[in-house]
Every structure is written in structure tokens, then in C-alpha cells.
Structure 1
């Protein structure tokens, strides 16, 4: 046994174990607005208590935990804690990456651990709607910044002729839309177009309706509780799916239905998690993040549905391409990618 390697592994354990509890601490900070409050300027725990209305003793542990993890900065000369510009952007800025939302998802799906443990023995699924509400709200909040940054400015222009259609006025089906952030972004950017947002999860669609009303686009976005295999409408100029095909038990059935719902010259915009085709190329920090989410959310949801598929969040391009070909699509290309997503243009 190499004791140096043992020590190295124990070091990894300490980092991971500390991250488990710290995830909960990030969520507490998110719920209480602590990051936004700390972004106002440096503060000792006592000063921070006055600023936030929270109890100093709890704040002391929270601030020290966050500083130990590099999420908050500490000045030993003054005893004050603060956020750097970069920390504030990632943790407190509504236009930033909104990293606390990712921890909200994790804390939410960990509540289903006992169900998943039993599923390992039975092979049963754990459906999306069986999870805590933090999962739904957290997913929308975490993915939103990426969609805001990429969907209208980059992904749609990468599609052949789609931006022009949307500008002139097109019919769009946003399938598996969740809280419909993507639907609202398209409706806001292309006011002559109409969007039908669908999801099988009625609670998410209910929240999506509220968001549409608040955004002032309720007249251009319709909502439907439906699966990817049953959403209504035909002759769509554009069908979109964002980070959801791999969650489905019957992605082939969904692909067939998209093919039937598209106009002859329509486009399927499919956005999936970034993944390499070889397992060894996914064994990295991003892959680890996705495999954890896939273990608790994506794969169990697929196994809860009929269809026989369970692609998981790291399926890679190969299986997605084969599904499109089996569904009758003849044109398939990768048109964009980020460190977290791959964007496909699929056409009849």
C-alpha cells in the first residue's frame, strides 16, 4: 500500500465531506439573501447581523464556513468578511451564473435518497414529480443564466434560416419546458412569433404561467400539460427541447412525435448536456457533476416511464444521433457547444 496515495485520497475525502455540508450552507445563504447583503460591503459577524436581521452566532459559523471554502473572503486584521467582485458575480448578482441554485438542486434531490436506495434493489424509477420543489425551482434558476446568455444571441442564429422565421413570425413548440424560461426568452425576443410550452409536470406549468404573466408575454405563450410524445399541434416551424431528452423513458417516441409535428421545412433545436462518447473522457469534474444529477434525477425519471430507454445525462452524441435517424430525420449537425451543453440542429 502506498501511504502517500492514502493520504492523498483522504485529502479528497475531506474536501468532498466538507462540500456536502457546505452545500446546505450555500442554500441557507441563498434563501436568506446573505450573499446579496455581503455584496454591499465588508462586515464583521455583528455588523452583518445588523445588516441582515439574523442571529450573530449563526452568522459567525456561516461566514467562517464560507470563507474556509473560498466562497467568502476574510480579513484577519479587521475580522471582517466580504465578497470579491468575482464571488459577488457568481453568488449574488441576478445576472450572474447563480451558482447557489445548483446547490438548491442538489439539496433538493438528496431528499429522495431513501427512494433511490430502494430503487437500486427493485429497479423501479423515481419520477420527476416525486422530487422536492427545490429541484424544479433550482433547475430553472440554475439553467436560466446560460439560456439568457446563449439561446437568442448564439444558438438560434446558428440554425439555418430559423432566426429569420422567428423575426417574421413563426410557430414554436417548446417541449419539456419546465418553468418555461426558454419559452419566455423566445417570446420576448421575437414578438411576432407564438410559443406553446408543454411539460408533463403540472406544477411546473402552473409556475410557468405566472412567469409569463409577470414577463408580459402571456398573449404570445400558450401552455399545455403534456408529454413529449403527446404535445399538441402541427406544422411547427421550430420545436425545441432543452436539457430534457435524456430524461425520457421513450426518447425515440418523442423524436417520432417531433418529426410529425414539424412543418416540412421545420427545425428541431435540441440542447443536451455536454458529454464525450467515451466513458473515460467523461471522468472529470463536469462529468462528475452530471453523473450525480443523472443518478438522482435523469435516470430514475426515465426508468419511471415506459419506453425502455435510460440514456442518462452523459449519453453523448452517438445515441442522440441514432435516435434522430431512427425517427426519420435526415439532417443532423452540432451547431454550437459550451462547457456544459451541446446544441444540435435536426431537420427532416
Structure 2
């Protein structure tokens, strides 16, 4: 059999295979068989160099024509198979079926609460500051007038990492860093995570969130503290909310107070939530202790200031009537969907 006959036979074999082809997988096999680098058409074209010129020209033309013919038939069938597949998909599509409704996500309730608290203080002229969660004893304790023998510095009450490094137990460390790096006036809030080795129960967690605030200038007074926090409480819990200040003790403020609000559940009449007192404790505050100013290098005769701090989880629990702090961390979508 000469090469001319061989080309004709390959063409007939190709036409038989292409007529019987019913799917894309088989078509790809045919493409490789007749157009691939190891196909018979390719081998014939490679062998032409050894033939006489006249024969080489005629045989080369015939082989190329057959190869181009095979390529066009394969391309044509590929389009037909693709069209059939699309038609089949359209035929199987039931347009009367209800669509798949994707559930919208939302910010976590604690993130929502931090944002709401931040918005209120931003409207009062406060900026937002942040700081490290891994801290030294100086920024977490010493500069805040918390001495070495204070209970909070015990290993049972603080997450120590190694040496004098620890996980911050409050965001007050950011107050110290800001005052050491900035000259007054200062008016900032500091939201963030804090860590204490508390046993987890309905009202305690080893990790929780705080928002602390600091205001320092030449003529800051206790009345500024009371006015700012009264506005915050009314903005956060409603215009009818009353505030009460009770004397307290914090090492980093002097004088120090606890801030209470009239119970948002019973409007101050007394209920289970407020233990019948009509009041709910929400934060601690006070005028910055002169020893803190000394630690950051401020002139206590020239500058005065106040600081406050609140637990975000407590604010969120009061705002939404939640009675178990663990719900915030369990990632139960049935709980979280309430805040979409």
C-alpha cells in the first residue's frame, strides 16, 4: 500500500469514527488520534523529506488537505455537542421552582455594641485609640498606681506569658501609652479585648471587651465627667434614663465612682434584673490619680483629667435583655440571627 492509499484509508477511518462520536470525551480522543503529535497524518508529513520532490509536493498537499478536513469536522462536531449540552440543561431547568434564598450575615452583637458606644463618644468629640493586647507590667500595672502587692498582680488573677509580659487585663494600658506619647489636650476612647483568668459562667469569661475613655486638659473637672457620662447613658439607653454616682475605689483614679443607671427593665421601680433596687451598675470612673500623671510625666498642677471604663458585654446584655454572657461566644446562629 502506497502513502496515497494510506491517507485515503486514514480519512475513511476518521469519517467512520466522527460519525459514531456522541460525546465530548470521545471527540477529544479522536482529536488526539488524528491531529496529535503522534498521529498518522503527522508521521506521514515527517516522512516526506525522503521522497522525490514531485511526489513530496503531491503527497504533502493531500496529507495537509485531509488533516485540515479532519480539524474542521472535529471543530464542527464540538460546537454541535456543546449546543446539545446547553439545550439539555435548559430542558432540565424548572423555572417554576422557588429560588435559593441566601441568608444575610450581620455584625456580631458585641461589634454592634462597640460601634454604637463609639459613635456616641465620637459625636462628643472623642477619638478612637488602640494598643497592644500583650503588655508589660509597667503599662498594665505600675503606671496605673497598682503596686506589686495588689491582688490583681497575682498569677491567679492575670495571664502571665513569660517574664514580665502578660495579656492585658484592661484597656487602661492604652491610656498610659497615649499620655506618654502625646501632650494634652487628650480626648479618646479605647475599645478592645481584655483577659482575666475568671471561671466561665453566666456572668464571667476569661476574655471579654472593654471601652475605656480618657480626657485630659488644663481645666477638666468632675462636673465634666458627670456631664459626659450622663449624655452617654441617655444616648445609649434612652432619654428617660437617670444616672447615679456612688463613691468607690480604683488605684488609678481619685476620687473614684461607680456609675449606675435607672433599671431599663422596670424604669427604676425594682425588679428581678436590678434585684429590687431600681438601679444597674454599668461602669467605673473618676478623676485621674496624680500618681498616674507622675508616671507619664505630666504636671499635675497644670493638667487635670478623668477616665472611665465599661464592659461591652454588660452593656450588650442590658440593651438586649440577655442573661448569659456565654451566648456571645458560642456561635449559635439561632442566637446571632436576632441581631441581623
Please confirm whether the aligned pair reaches a TM-score higher than 0.5, indicating the same fold: no
Larger Rg: 2
Higher fraction of helix: 1
State the TM-score, normalizing by the size of structure 1: 0.21
TM-score of the aligned structures, taking structure 2 as reference length = 0.21
Larger strand fraction of residues? 2
